[in-house]
Amino acid sequence: MAAGSTAVSQEIQQEVERLRTELALHNHRYYVLDEPLISDAEYDQLFRRLVDLETEYPELHDPASPTQKVGAPPLAAFTQVRHTVPMLSLANVVSRAEMQEFHQRVQRTLETTQDVEYVAEPKIDGVAVELVYENGKLTVGSTRGDGVTGEDVTANLKTVRSIPLTLLSQPAHPIPRRLEVRGEVFLPKASFRSLNDTRAETGEPLFANPRNATAGSLKQLDSAITAQRPLDFFCYGVGQIEGDVFASYWELRRAFTGWGIKPVPLGRVCPTVEEVFTVCDDLETRRDSLEYDIDGVVIKVNSFALQAQLGQISRSPRWATAYKFPAIQATTTVLNIVPQVGRIGTLTPVAELAPVHIGGVTVKSASLHNMDEIKRKDIRIGDTVIVERAGDVIPYVVKTIPEKRTGRERSFVMPATCPVCGAQVAREEGEAAYRCTGPFCPAQLKESLKFFAARGSMDIDGLGEKIIDQLVDKKLAQDPGDLYLLTAEQLAALDRLGEKSAHNLVAALERSKTTTLPRLIAALGIRHLGEATARQLAEYFGDLDRIMQAEEEALQDVPDIGPEVARSVAAFFGQERNRAVVKKLLDTGVHFPRLEAKPAGRLHGQTFVLTGSLASLTRPQAKQRLEALGAKVTSSVSKKTDYVVAGIDPGSKRDKAEKLGVPILSEEELLEKL
């Protein structure tokens, strides 16, 4: 211990160590194995305790602590990293015949006529990275770059939940002195869709596909932004490895699992090339149902000794190749552009396309997202366009081919009234979206009911689009509460529904009445309120009545809830109609277990404004920690502000605080409070 510093008691040191080990274990259970052992709330509690201790005892700082996964101070630029062993690329094959040729080349080079054992696994369509672990601790993470030199994106990679900061020990393989892990960072399809939905609403340019979104997220200089994107990671190889030897790739994959790193899923050992064909066919059919994008299958010789014997030509190994799935782009024409009304009234322009086959599916329409997107891509009715579909992601227009224009193309104009209910269409200031303002628009109602019934919401098995459309058209359901008043007789009278299905649906409705508070709140479809935020809200207030009565101000006290969500929740429950729907739901028997409200934090009721940059933590980190203690962090200074924290180069907010007599805290004073 350095002279002058106070010794940290052994007890504290042990507690910190224990918390770190425990949190690393829970991260692994949650993000790698998808089998959590404790609830989110319990996890938060452990996490906060560790944050508290690390703040109180800065000498215990460790870059590999689980608390360091939330982001580091923003960078001015990325530095370059030279890979110890170059990161190669793969040659491609596009047919069985070419795969057969690859196999014959392997046999020729190895001078054998015997079968060769391969491993076939999905080719993940993400961004290649390398992670360097020294004595089990993640020290550097970089992009592939040109294969020889990449960019140092360590801070960003540390925010990826499934990338461990510390390797787990396992009996079979000691932790190598140095381990260079290679793999693919990617954004799951569902996260990609919701990221783009948010961007479409706020008018930000959309990402073309999950890979671009991943690349964009990894290139953020502020890792707090990366941390908000639910990136994931699979590994598929190593660079240098000091301290352990493996006979085969399959054995290495096993060791990765033991160290807490996920290998590319669905890999299989193939004793013959025929088995490789089977895996390729199998993965091609399953492609759409996977949660992440894959664009082919990688085929690797399993034995490392044989790999060494095969060597490489120019920039690709002779022991591996990539079987690329057929193209998923096609050219077609835009027959028309029509607005479609969504759950909250948003009018989304949809292109009706001349039907075209893409990757085994007939595509007839594509979302154009919003007017800004149409303008940016200059898409006109009558245009020839390139359409892409990636996995089960909704098909989209990549670009138009202006050379094919005849002069008869027309621009799309958003109608002034809703095509379904005839109400005024309005564009809110600062938003990209146009909205139908009709309070009883059947199109909005249908979408709300679909959302309410969907899996992940109330999960009403068998209540699909076709039935909901009829229920609304026949005025049998005018809000979600009406669903629970439906009788088997009423349902059996609908098209496509026999008596048996009608009874099944009634039973499914009955089952769905047993739910949880977060699910119910999320199912109501309140604007800007996703499932995670609904959970925060439920945990904070504990019961529905308190949430419904909470004022905008109080809602902002909930961790992760900013002014926009607070406004939206307050506005929703402010409407008599919505309160009546909730009442109807509860009256018809929808119920959920009570939650214990979280005790208010130490800084409950206090409002902070942060200005200038802080030396020891980022602003988002400071905000998160203040909120964890119950404080509210807002962006503008008013008489109601309790403290303004002024970092380096504070802006006009500091001046305003002085003028209003609001106390100003230095960074040290803030840390003391935390």
Catalytic machinery residues: 123
- The CB-based long-range contact list for 206-211 (8 Å cut-off, 24+ gap) reads 206/369, 206/373, 208/396, 208/398, 209/125, 209/293, 209/388, 209/390, 209/393, 210/125, 210/126, 210/186, 210/292, 210/293, 210/390, 210/393, 211/125, 211/126, 211/127, 211/186, 211/293
CB of 293 or CB of 482, closer to ligand IVH = 293
186 binds ligand IVH (CB under 6 A): no
310 binds ligand IVH (CB under 6 A): no
CA-CA distance, 151 to 141, in Å (whole number)? 8
330 burial via Cβ count (<10 Å: 0-12, 13-18, 19+): middle
CA-CA distance, 298 to 266, in Å (whole number)? 11
Tokens of residue 496, six digits: 């496509």
88 binds ligand IVH (CB under 6 A): yes
CA-CA distance, 578 to 601, in Å (whole number)? 31
CB of 94 or CB of 554, closer to ligand IVH = 94
CB of 98 or CB of 560, closer to ligand IVH = 98
CB of 293 or CB of 539, closer to ligand IVH = 293
CA-CA distance, 192 to 378, in Å (whole number)? 23
Pick from 31, 207, 236, 484: which binds ligand IVH (CB under 6 A)? 236
**In the complex, minimum distance from the CB of residue 311 to ligand IVH, in angstroms, rounded to a whole number:** 12
Pick from 93, 255, 270, 322: which binds ligand IVH (CB under 6 A)? 322
CB of 295 or CB of 479, closer to ligand IVH = 295
CB of 13 or CB of 316, closer to ligand IVH = 316
Strand partners, 664: 644
Mask for 279-298, x = binds ligand IVH (CB under 6 A): -------------------x
CB of 82 or CB of 577, closer to ligand IVH = 82
CA-CA distance, 500 to 562, in Å (whole number)? 47
CB of 233 or CB of 396, closer to ligand IVH = 233
Pick from 72, 90, 280, 628: which binds ligand IVH (CB under 6 A)? 90
Which range of residues in 119-127, 173-181, 440-448, 638-646 is near ligand IVH by CB under 6 A? 119-127
639 burial via Cβ count (<10 Å: 0-12, 13-18, 19+): exposed
DSSP 3-state assignment of 581? Answer: helix
Which range of residues in 120-128, 159-167, 370-378, 599-607 is near ligand IVH by CB under 6 A? 120-128
| Burial per residue of 246-273, b for 16 or more beta-carbon CB atoms within 10 angstroms, e otherwise | eebbbbbbebbeebbbbbbeebeebeeb
Tokens of residue 558, six digits: 């909930």
CB of 233 or CB of 452, closer to ligand IVH = 233
Which residues between 123 and 142 bind ligand IVH (CB under 6 A)? 123-124, 128
CA-CA distance, 397 to 566, in Å (whole number)? 35
Q: Which residue is nearest to ligand IVH (CB)?
A: 128
Total number of residues binding ligand IVH (CB under 6 A)?
16
CA-CA distance, 3 to 532, in Å (whole number)? 47
Which residues between 262 and 281 bind ligand IVH (CB under 6 A)? 264
Pick from 237, 349, 481, 518: which binds ligand IVH (CB under 6 A)? 237
Query: Parallel, antiparallel, or unpaired: how do β-strands 632-634 and 607-611 relate?
Result: parallel
**In the complex, minimum distance from the CB of residue 317 to ligand IVH, in angstroms, rounded to a whole number:** 5
Which residues between 441 and 500 bind ligand IVH (CB under 6 A)? none
Task: Report the alpha-carbon angle 204-207-212, nearest 5.
Answer: 140
Pick from 276, 320, 548, 585: which binds ligand IVH (CB under 6 A)? 320
Which range of residues in 5-13, 317-325, 442-450, 619-627 is near ligand IVH by CB under 6 A? 317-325
CA-CA distance, 674 to 667, in Å (whole number)? 11
| Distant-in-sequence, close-in-space partners of 321: CB < 8 Å, separation ≥ 6 | 90, 91, 92, 93, 99, 102, 298, 299
Residue 479: name the closest of 505, 453, 504, 459 by CA. Answer: 453
Which range of residues in 121-129, 159-167, 448-456, 648-656 is near ligand IVH by CB under 6 A? 121-129
Rg over CA atoms, the chain: 28
Pick from 317, 342, 345, 630: which binds ligand IVH (CB under 6 A)? 317
**In the complex, minimum distance from the CB of residue 206 to ligand IVH, in angstroms, rounded to a whole number:** 24
Q: Which residues bind ligand IVH (CB under 6 A)?
A: 88-90, 121, 123-124, 128, 144, 184, 236-237, 264, 298, 317, 320, 322
